[in-house]
Amino acid sequence: MSARKKSRNRRKKSLLVRFLRTPAGKVCLALLIVGFTIGALTATYYYLHFARLTDEKLATGPIGHTAVLYAAPEKVMVGDRRTMEEVVAHLRRAGYSESRRNRIGWYHLRPDAVEIFPGKDSAFPGEDAVIFFEGDRVSKIISLRDNTERTIYYLEPELITSLFNRSREKRLLVRFEDLPKHLVNAILAAEDKRFFQHAGFDPIRIIKGAYVNLKAGRIREGASTLTMQVAGDIWLDRSQRTWSRKLAEMLITLQLERKLTKEQIFEYYANQIYLGHVGSFAIHGFGQAAQAYFNKHVRDLTLPEAALLAGLPRGPGLYNPFRNPERARARRNWVLKQMLESEMISEREYAVAVESPLNVVRGATDTGEAPYFVDMVNDWLRQQFSEYDFQSHSFRVDTTLDPRLQKDAVEAMRLGLKEIDERCRRLGRTPENGWPPIQAALVALDPHTGAVKAVVGGRSYAQSQLNRALAKRPPGSVFKPFVYAAALNTAVEGGPLVFTPQTR
């Protein structure tokens, strides 16, 4: 039997050799060699092309350099009414943590004091110090540089926001080490469970996705890994859905896996991914999303908050917690379920998290980012430094904004408008009756320097970006509040009832 097979194989080989010796066989062989050579050269060309493209992007920064705005340093004085918790909260918002490896800075808590140590990436050359508290007041400040007492100490300035581009995309760049472990796990559970094991492509996921899609008769499950998403979103046009784009995505994926660590790839993903619209801004990256949805730094996210954000990439509009809270809750709980099945969280953690409310903060952009102030700074920078592209370079812009005073200004505006709205309602002057909603503006200045400390330009930045604090008005109308204030003050103090320039 084996002899017959050998004989049959020899006959086939002889037939193939005789065919290749014929003119038609020689043509086919030549075409095969030419086709293989062209294919190899084409593959090499595109591989080198995308290798060069990847190197150029990595050299300049795939996401681009984002200019960022910082508030003024926070001044702490002996005798201030301020608790230790408030100082620690400020330090955390400024990027500090209790880890000594934190390059911005770290702190250590004592029963009655907090030790502060600015790091290498601190915004200004602050000094190590200890701030002591008695109840809700600052009792003493000691410099660790020379162990002497200070009456004033300046805390690290808070990051306000990044400057948005013409597409009104906003992002706050974060590092991999800034991301809490439960957020990393939530993203992996929702998007790519084997990210740290595969080499850019996940064969198991590809086979599973193909089976699910064939069974459903339509595309229900994708097979793109986090690396493939980074390659597609940063290097390629997202609007294209062609085979050539998919091939380019695969070649760039190979380059990224070869040139970057898994942590670096994850960091790019965490800073680039689109996570919905809040107000007039497109939110990109988990750093900006934490601010926009929860008004907090990404490192302070809780487990259910992290799961909610991790569920957004598949449908930022569909799962928007402001517009579709029930869908957002269901998606969040699905992510938590995936984490439980992957043994990333315990049964108890899962049970507590799925029962948690969404806790999203409406108006976080208005209160947390001082948007009218940021617009004012943005416009001023364009006017004064038109030759600079502030949306494409890593400029650091220090401002005079006082975050605490800004939050107080927003709250004062809210309470004032609430009272005026109630008066208008009693008079029948409501939007339902054809009356426009009442608007207001507030500006707080340092009387000694003229520095702008807080700006609120309207009722809601999400509804209207017009900064009424900067709107031009007749000078007489602008001056009236000062005249009336002086008159009222004269009456209160018991001065002459007749108000004239001489009596003031």
**Residue in 363, 338, 368 with CA at minimum distance from that of residue 350:** 338
**What is the residue extent of each domain of the chain?**
2-60, 73-161, 164-365, 371-464, 472-504
Per-chain mean pLDDT for the chain: 82
The values of phi and psi at residue 277, to 5°, are -110, 135
At 385 the three-state DSSP class reads coil
Helix (H, G, I), strand (E, B) or coil at 233: helix
- Closest by CA to 446, choosing from 68, 75, 125, is 75
Which parts of the chain sit beneath pLDDT 70?
1-17, 19-20, 40, 42-43, 45-51, 53-66, 164-168, 205-206, 208-223, 234-246, 279-280, 363-368, 387-394, 490-504
User: Residues with Cβ < 8 Å from 118, sequence gap 6 or more?
Assistant: 104, 105, 125, 126, 127, 128, 156
Sequence-ordered strand ranges (E) for 105-185 = 105-109, 113-118, 129-134, 137-143, 148-150, 152-155, 159-162, 169-170
In this prediction, residue 9 carries a pLDDT of 55
Fold annotation for 164-365 = Penicillin binding protein transpeptidase fold (1.10.3810)
User: Which one of 74, 191, 249, 257 is the catalytic residue?
Assistant: 191
Closest alpha carbon to 64 in 167, 180, 196: 167
Collapse the DSSP code of 491 into the 3-class scheme (helix H, G, I; strand E, B; otherwise coil) and give the result.
helix
Task: Write down the pLDDT at residue 449.
Answer: 93
| pLDDT computed for residue 171 by the predictor | 79
For residue range 446-463, list pLDDT tens digits in order.
999 999 999 999 998 878
CATH 3.30.2060.10 applies to domain 73-161:
yes
pLDDT score of 220: 55
Residue spans of beta strands (DSSP E) within 179-301: 274-278, 281-284
Summarize pLDDT for 357-413 with one digit per residue, the tens: 998 887 666 556 788 998 898 888 888 877 666 655 667 889 999 998 999 999 999
> Catalytic residue at 477?
yes
Of residues 134, 387, 477, 493, which has the active-site annotation?
477
